[in-house]
A and B are shown apart, each in its own frame.
Chain A
Amino acid sequence: MSVLIYVELDNGSIKKTSLEAVAYGAKVAENTGDKAVVLAIGQAASSELEIAGKYGASKVLHASDEKLSHENSLAYADVLAQAAGQEGSKIIILSKSGLGDAMAARAAAKLKAGVVSGVTALPEINGSFKVTRGIFTGKAFATTEMKSDIKILVVKKNVIEIDENDVASASAVIETFSPQLRDADFQASVVNVEKASSELSLTEAQVIVSGGRGMKGPEHWQPLLDLARALGAATGCSKPVSDLDWRPHHEHIGQTGIKVAPNLYIACGISGAIQHLAGVNGSKCIVVINKDPEAPFFKAADYGIVGDVFEILPKLTEAAKNM
């Protein structure tokens, strides 16, 4: 028996959110007396996959068929279900992302498994199996009992602290995994992929600097970009900014955009409509810069500065460079 954890790869390396999922899965396995087994799909060097061992995995199944090089949630879900069958896994863990949700859903239907997405804490295993998850876009939480024989958990970012300087020296055994691939999963053809390779992903970023209408127009974004560069941060924006085409749609953070959970979220000229707050309430620390002292966002902030963003941002950038 094993707890199976799927890890997402980014240019051949395990994503940080997936390493969190490995650490989470290892803790669950410890609790249930099982082994933590990792599944990686796509191209990656063994030396990269072995890192999963440092976070508690004893084995990594690596499916590296050329046909799986491009992200394909249908085929990946099939591979996940087959890996779970091989390992006799009753608990399957993925990290929360578009791919994680898609794979979890299709694997759940294949395995007749209960699925809970948006898990925010380790499960309570005591005769029953209970998980806590965020609902109403972070405005509340639900404790849910999972009654199915096979359970699939999609875990949010930052649920478990991992310190790269404080991990075990163990490394996982790498095992080639050769699943049966179905032609039906490869009927779609990829016409084009547009990915800004230089940009940090909002869902992976530890720091996000985000702008609202208070930035007064796309031509005034440079001070915000300068601060983001100085902090090694990703950039985001509010819905009105995205609607006005000041910034690309994939930067839109909020209830109907991307939900983020960085360590630090810096909001520049964003008043803090409830729909925007719903997208950032997973952040560890929120900084709000706004000239309006009555901006509702200050109520949700840890630190605030009332003033002109165009005067404050360069000061922050200067201080960040001298850090």
Chain B
Amino acid sequence: MKILVCISNVPDTTAKITFTDNDTRLNKNGVQYIIGPYDDYALARGVELKEQSGGTLTVLHVGEADADPQIRKALAIGADDAIRINADPLDSYFVAVQIAHVAQQNNYDLILMGRESIDYNSGVVHGLVGEMLGIASYSPVMKLDIEGGSATISREIDGGKEILKAPLPLVLGCQEPIAEWKIPNMRGIMTARTKPLNVVEPVSLDEMTVPEKYFLPAPKGACKMIPAAEAGTLIRLLRTEAKVL
């Protein structure tokens, strides 16, 4: 089975977000970058499936060279090779076109990625890629098993879950508990150094959406403290003052 796992390179979940260049760019100073948490789940399940089926796993990232440490980490976790599309993507459509272009040349059985990136939170790349390739896409997938060219998928729906059986090839957006995150071991780190990381230039396309300016939410007002002994008065305040009940 040929598996492609797409990963994002995002600020750590605890990173303080600020902007620079007159609020037109993210301030990367002092920001620790990680593989997107949802993509990490996709990668972990991809590695498990590869080990079960004896196939190959390629990891793909659309981004610049500063993402190479994260790509190497994915190789250390178990990917066989990597592709980096050399671009600074600011639009989901652009990212999807790049992934679809690579996928069209390689006939993957399974394309996995996180349900969304935690920087731009769009949650649309898997659907875009699926449609561009003319194959089915499902998200968010919490459980995935492959048997005989068909996938059994458990995915979250509003207030519950749905179990689907669908033929490969598929594009899937993943989330926990699809697999346990994997931590690279020393052998993995050493072998990752020799695995191929191919850098290719992006396919050009018309701009669809262009971020113009970034800003932070307005600061929160002070928290109104209610004495524990008078807890019941909170309900009245929520009705009459906050008007949320």
Contact = CB atoms under 8 A, between A and B. Distances in A.
Given A118-B121, A302-B223, A303-B237, A202 B159 contact: yes
B234 A130 contact: no
A310 B151 CA distance: 45
Interface residues of A, number: 93
A249 interface: yes
Contacts, number: 268
A316 B163 contact: no
Contacts of A135: 119-121, 214
Interface stretch (A19-27, A32-40, A83-91, A99-107): A99-107
Interface stretch (A43-51, A164-172, A189-197, A211-219): A189-197
Contacts of A308: 228
Interface in B103-123: 118-123
Given A140-B217, A146-B208, A256-B37, A304 B121 contact: no
B152 interface: yes
B231 A136 contact: no
Interface in B150-179: 152, 156-167, 175-177
B185 interface: no
Interface stretch (B1-9, B63-71, B137-145): B137-145
A274 B198 CA distance: 36
Interface in B183-209: 206-209
Contacts of A142: 120, 211-214
Interface residues of B, number: 80
A274 B127 contact: no
A9 B81 CA distance: 44
B224 to A, nearest CB: 5
A199 interface: yes
Given A98-B156, A192-B163, A301-B223, A145 B124 contact: no
Given A98-B140, A98-B158, A191-B164, 13 more contacts: A101-B122, A101-B124, A115-B124, A141-B215, A143-B212, A147-B206, A184-B134, A188-B166, A191-B152, A195-B157, A200-B159, A285-B242, A316-B232
Interface of B: 11, 13-14, 17, 19, 37-38, 91-93, 96, 118-128, 130-132, 134, 136-140, 142, 152, 156-167, 175-177, 206-217, 220-221, 223-228, 231-239, 242, 244-245
27 contacts: A97-B158, A98-B140, A101-B122, A102-B139, A104-B124, A105-B125, A109-B128, A135-B121, A143-B211, A145-B210, A147-B209, A148-B206, A187-B136, A187-B167, A190-B163, A193-B160, A193-B161, A202-B159, A207-B245, A249-B177, A264-B242, A275-B14, A278-B13, A284-B244, A303-B234, A306-B225, A311-B231
Q: Give the top 6 A-B pairs by smallest Cβ distance, nearest first.
A: A105-B127, A307-B228, A114-B208, A109-B131, A195-B160, A319-B232
